[in-house]
Structure 1
Amino acid sequence: MGFVAVYLSEPLLGGFVTGSSLTIITSQMKYLLGLKIPRHEGVGSFILTWVDLFRHIRNTNICDLLTSLVALAIIVPVKELNERYKERLKAPFPIELLVVIAATLISHYFDFERRYKAAVCGDIPTGFRKPTVPDFSLFPSLALDALPIAVIGFAMTVSLAEIFGKKHGYAVSANQEMIAIGMCNLIPSFFYCFASSAALTKTLLKESTGSQTQVSGLVTSLVLLLVLLWISPLFYSLQTSILGVVTIVNLRGGLRRFRDTPRMWQLSKLDTAVWWATMLCSTLVTTEIGLLVGVCFALLCIIFRTQRPRATLLGRVRDREVYEDQAAYKQLSSISNIKIFRFECSLYYANKDYFKAVLYQKTGLNPVLLAASLGNRARPEPGSSRGCCGCPRQGRSRAESPPGDACAPSPDMHTLILDCGAMQFIDTVGLSALKETHHDYEEVGVQVLLANCNPSIRQRLREGGWAGRAGGAGGQLAFHSIHDAVQFAESRRRGDSRDKRAAPPEPEEQQDFQVSL
């Protein structure tokens, strides 16, 4: 089941982290201000929380607000210095721990709770509950809720692992992570524990303090064990605003991703759209729905990219057997009466119509219109300004005319070469479109050759009958390179020219047909 992590792209994860950071910061604002407002969950909790914050802003506790500002003024500069000089420091300065200890002592001795009504942690229960076997009779009613919790928890865990794995240069096994998180939920289920997954806040906190191995998890577990058993009463006077400050400060890394969006927009507009869609949905709706929307939107972007891919005509690099895009490179030489067309995507049912339309536009020849005009129209008079299909030769340019309705001029090519190097696969609909294209161009006297086909595409062509249709003329299936196809087309054209010179004169009707063709 670890394959699910494949669909978590980097822009998606970046938007998810930023949206989650905004949600967590919003949930901590009431502690910084010392407000007692209800906790909102579900759709729209972000907006509802801010509405309540502004509605009760007049009830802000001045003591909590000043404590939060002082803590921010101390923690943020030290954290920045830790990041700037982390290569020189053997260990980062533990400013959060010192602030928590100092704030607890100050709050206790100055009695902030009684004198200023400050919000403190209060009594924290100690000890563990006795292990108990879960009630199996509840399983049917909990199954539907357990499934999305498990999937979302796994996705959040793997997404965070991928982010920090890329940052620190190590590989992440999604299957191993799934087994680990499964065991982390199976064993604690006997101790009345909550369902667990990777937490963004705690992960950022540990990463910012320099944790690198599982030893940090062992230390954390021992500290929590000490707190649960003996130390927790000592945190009675700790203000909750201090905990909120520590949380918010360690989320600033997620907010810095806003600075990367302009550069991301220059590199890829679709990736930027995925980032913003995931971020906005994670913030304004819920983090779970935001993650789902991000995955779906990313998949739609992939479909959009393959539905209208780049298509170009190729020219030859002088004195070399290399062919490149004529729109991207200069000083490329065109080959007389031969068009080389590259479709930079796999050919399948969603883009087969676009394939034909852009092919007709790039080559300047619509074989369907040309075949129809040849069947219904006589040869144009000499000196006529109209093509063989009756369309004006001058006027609207090819770039201005729509691809599907391109004018059908007199064909200036005898061979069309399709570069299939960028095609990874061809489905049955795409194969039918390819065979139709071959048939349509063959009807107007233009042979169609394939080049750079990978083995899977050649196998699909054999199974689909392309070899049988194309093999009648030259016996070829597809060429291994564009240059081989060009040489074949030129040699075959020269052979046809010699045969025509040696043949007797043809009837007048057939000569007229060849001239118009």
Structure 2
Amino acid sequence: METATAMSRPSDTTIDIKQKELNITSDYNPEKPMNLQEQPKSQCSSIHGCMKTSVKSHLPFIDILLNYEWRNWLVSDMVAGLSVGIIHIPQGMGFSILASLPPVYGLYSSFFPVLAYFFLGTSRHISFGTMAVISLLIATVVDRESERLGLDEDFSGTNTTDPLSSYTKPDAVATKVGIACAVSLLVGITQTLLGIFKLGVVASFMSMSFVGGFLMGAGFHIAMSQLPFLLGLQIKKVDATGKIPVVFIEILRHLPEVQPAEVITSLVCITFLTTIKEVINVRYRKYLCMPVPAEMIVVTIGIFVSYIAKLEDNFDIAVIGTIPQGIPMPEMPYLSNAHTYIVDAVIIAITSFIISVSMAKQLAKRHNYEIDVNQEFVAYGISHTIGSFLHCFAGAQAPPRTIVHDATGGKTQLASLFSCGLVLLACTVMAPLFQLLPKCVVASVVLVALFPLFRGFSDLKFFWSVNRYDFAVWLITWAAVVFVDVTSGLITGIGLSLLTVIMQSKLTQGYLLSSTDKSTTPDLTPPSAFNKSLEHVPGIRVFHFPNILYFANIENFKKQLFKVTANPQKMPKLTVKVVPKNLVTENSNLQREHPQSDVNMDNAKENYHSSQANVDNIPSTPYIEIMWGNEGTAQKLAIDQKETVCSLGINDDMKSDHCIVQSAGADSDINCIVIDCSAMAYIDTAGICLLKQLKSDYEEVGIKFVLASCNKGLLTKLQLAGIKPGYSKVIAVYPTIHDAVVSNGVMENSDLVVSSKL
């Protein structure tokens, strides 16, 4: 079978346009990269301006005060601050107990770090302070180190889930607080260093599915730790792997010892808190000037009833007990064995940052302003560092407080000053009042604060329908946290998140772009189920790979490319035939009757004078025949064909007397493969080596291999590897797919005729 196709070719004279000339012609002035000396000058026009900018960026409260609308915002911030402060007090005490510390240290942690964040934070709406998940992680370290040092057994003679049971000896209290403060110090140093080195981008590596599964699992740990207080039980402390199932079994064993009075009190408190927070504050929001402070109402009523009814004496209901009054003097954290929990501190630092900055981003987007992620890292770090010397443990933003701050109309972090004032009042004046507060009331406040976390189960349906990888990450992370422990679950979740990124990049599906019309300058589009009439550009295949190209997915890239284009490894290599011209011109059917021989390029001249008999006895392969000479239909070859002729050493006299036949492989209708690099944001050394190898492989079978639509970063790496824009000898690189198609495509009105012999 023989078909003729019109083929385009570039102009006879190769035009080499240099990049500088192209920039001048198109009036393009690329930005030159600045050196280290020029960067500070560009950012600061003067020393005064530079210092002013630096101070404002590191102390955001200055900019807030300079632009503060006192008449419009002050009342809103005061109401929001007092509302948040009311929640700070019970949550601080509850989360301190959760961290295996006396309740008063939760009040300290709700004051000093919050005050420091006012000066350093860039978010206007988050409520920084104690947080349940971080308190749980702190408790993991405190309990482990306490057991290793023998604090519980030596100082109290007991080992129960009640963290207050070991506070009968001052030395035990001081050591446990010292451990918690040491962890907080390491957390602060870690966060500060990560912020200074601009590593706030670490938050982007934590997927939503991982964070959701981890927080949900941590919520189960918190709820299980509060269950003994809600039931009035004292059970054996469990610090081993698989804590939740063991604690649950212990609770079932001690069910006969449940205190009815504490169960009733807990149910009443939980019902009241849920009704106020989930019904009244939600359904009647538009009728309320501010959310009803359910936590403070419950705490106030609990203290009042405990005092009037003498709950501890008459009903054996456990109360908070002695709370020191006033602010303690600064002390150095307990750093004797800090090397044993450095890893824990790093995990807590990253977890605290992720929990806080994710909420800060959401609120910043809602209220149309931006936060500085790296400055947030520094703000959290310095707040924790300062707090560690003032008997504070690490924390983060807590969703219940942050939501109240936003719902009550808080405008800036000035609201935190009002909340700090209320907490300070509780530490100095009202501290004795909290001694009568029942523990089950505090546990109820903590449990209800977890309800927003438990709503995360609704995300599973979304993950299942959208991305099964995210579903697996969420479920496995949650299971690891619940059935193993928090630290193992955190590490498992991070590992799975990274693994899914690699797997999804490894399994990326490439596809051919197609033409929506038959013009010579087509619009290229991906295949669509709604448009089945798309056609490929004649002679050209444009391959789009929507991902980065690196060591993990180069085999998949090559597999996809070979699948939709052609596999050069399964095609005969390019050969050149030289036969007397009269065999072609005298009889047009001679080729079919007398097959011509295939010879390698290096031996073409030696076989030039082969006899016709020898030619007839050599089997032929499918080839593309290019007729040319004085009497031929074509007078010249394209640039790559000229190079082929020159490599044979055939002079002009020989051209006029002979016919050159070039084979391009069996059943191949592809002249050129264009790689669309528009979505290829990154390429590593393995990817560059693959492109070079593909160029060589396709060239051996007569198919061009070019690149198009490379971004600036990709071009830089290609240039460093010796691949430059234009007609490079390594790989041709074109600015757009259109340029690549036009330069290598098949167009009408060409004087070069190609006959395909099959």
Do residues 337 (structure 1) and 539 (structure 2) align? yes
Change (3 A) 1:236 1:433: same
Distance in 1, matches of 2:669 and 2:230, equals 75
Change (3 A) 1:456 1:155: closer
Do residues 246 (structure 1) and 452 (structure 2) align? no
What is the DSSP-based 3-state SS (H/G/I as helix, E as strand, rest coil) of the residue aligned with 1:333? coil
Q: Which position in structure 2 is the counterpart of 1:484? A: 739
Q: Percent identity?
A: 28
Do residues 515 (structure 1) and 710 (structure 2) align? no
**CA deviation digits over 1:4-52, x for unaligned, max 9?**
3332333333223222222211111111111112343464322322222
Equivalent residue in structure 1 for 2:325, among 126, 129, 141: 126
Q: Which position in structure 1 is the counterpart of 2:697? A: 440
Distance in 2, matches of 1:323 and 1:59, equals 75
Contact 2:574–2:702 (CA<8 Å) still a contact in 1?
no
Contact 1:156–1:197 (CA<8 Å) still a contact in 2?
no
Q: Which position in structure 2 is the counterpart of 1:284? A: 483
Change (3 A) 1:220 1:30: farther
Q: Which position in structure 2 is the counterpart of 1:506? A: none
Distance in 2, matches of 1:238 and 1:476, equals 77
Distance in 1, matches of 2:731 and 2:559, equals 26
Q: 1:92, CA displacement in angstroms?
A: 0.4
Distance in 1, matches of 2:514 and 2:243, equals 57
Distance in 2, matches of 1:206 and 1:157, equals 20
- Partner amino acid, structure 2, of 1:334: H
Q: Which position in structure 1 is the counterpart of 2:252? A: 54
Q: 1:437, CA displacement in angstroms?
A: 1.1
Contact 2:357–2:373 (CA<8 Å) still a contact in 1?
no
Q: Which position in structure 1 is the counterpart of 2:584? A: none
Q: 1:82, CA displacement in angstroms?
A: 0.5
Distance in 2, matches of 1:190 and 1:465, equals 57
**How does 1:34-45 map onto structure 2 within 5 Å?**
34-41=232-239, 43-45=241-243
Say what the alpha-carbon RMSD is for the aligned residues: 3.4
Q: Which position in structure 2 is the counterpart of 1:426? A: 683
Contact 1:181–1:196 (CA<8 Å) still a contact in 2?
no
Contact 2:364–2:371 (CA<8 Å) still a contact in 1?
no
Contact 1:96–1:246 (CA<8 Å) still a contact in 2?
yes
Distance in 1, matches of 2:573 and 2:326, equals 88
Distance in 2, matches of 1:207 and 1:64, equals 32
Distance in 2, matches of 1:56 and 1:99, equals 28
Q: Which position in structure 1 is the counterpart of 2:67? A: none
Contact 1:112–1:118 (CA<8 Å) still a contact in 2?
yes
Distance in 2, matches of 1:95 and 1:349, equals 56
Worse overlay, 267-276 or 195-204: 195-204
Q: Which position in structure 2 is the counterpart of 1:159? A: 354
* Structure with greater contact order relative to length (CA < 8 Å, sep ≥ 6): 2
What is the DSSP-based 3-state SS (H/G/I as helix, E as strand, rest coil) of the residue aligned with 1:310? coil
- Partner amino acid, structure 2, of 1:366: N
Contact 1:158–1:174 (CA<8 Å) still a contact in 2?
no
Contact 1:204–1:250 (CA<8 Å) still a contact in 2?
no
Change (3 A) 1:73 1:425: closer
Worse overlay, 142-151 or 113-122: 142-151
- Partner amino acid, structure 2, of 1:275: W
What is the DSSP-based 3-state SS (H/G/I as helix, E as strand, rest coil) of the residue aligned with 1:122? coil
**How does 1:364-375 map onto structure 2 within 5 Å?**
365-371=566-572
Q: What is the number of equivalent residue pairs in this alignment?
A: 469
**CA deviation digits over 1:456-475, x for unaligned, max 9?**
33343344344599645xx9
**How does 1:204-223 map onto structure 2 within 5 Å?**
210=408, 212=410, 213-223=412-422
Change (3 A) 1:460 1:229: closer
- Partner amino acid, structure 2, of 1:46: I
What is the DSSP-based 3-state SS (H/G/I as helix, E as strand, rest coil) of the residue aligned with 1:114? helix
Runs of 5+ in structure 1 lacking a partner?
382-407, 502-513
Q: Structure 2 length as normaliser, TM-score?
A: 0.56
Q: Structure 1 length as normaliser, TM-score?
A: 0.80
**How does 1:263-342 map onto structure 2 within 5 Å?**
263-318=462-517, 321-330=522-531, 331-342=533-544
What is the DSSP-based 3-state SS (H/G/I as helix, E as strand, rest coil) of the residue aligned with 2:690? helix
Distance in 1, matches of 2:681 and 2:322, equals 63
- Partner amino acid, structure 2, of 1:368: Q
Greater radius of gyration (CA): 2
**CA deviation digits over 1:123-160, x for unaligned, max 9?**
3233344444x38xx75x44424633442333233222
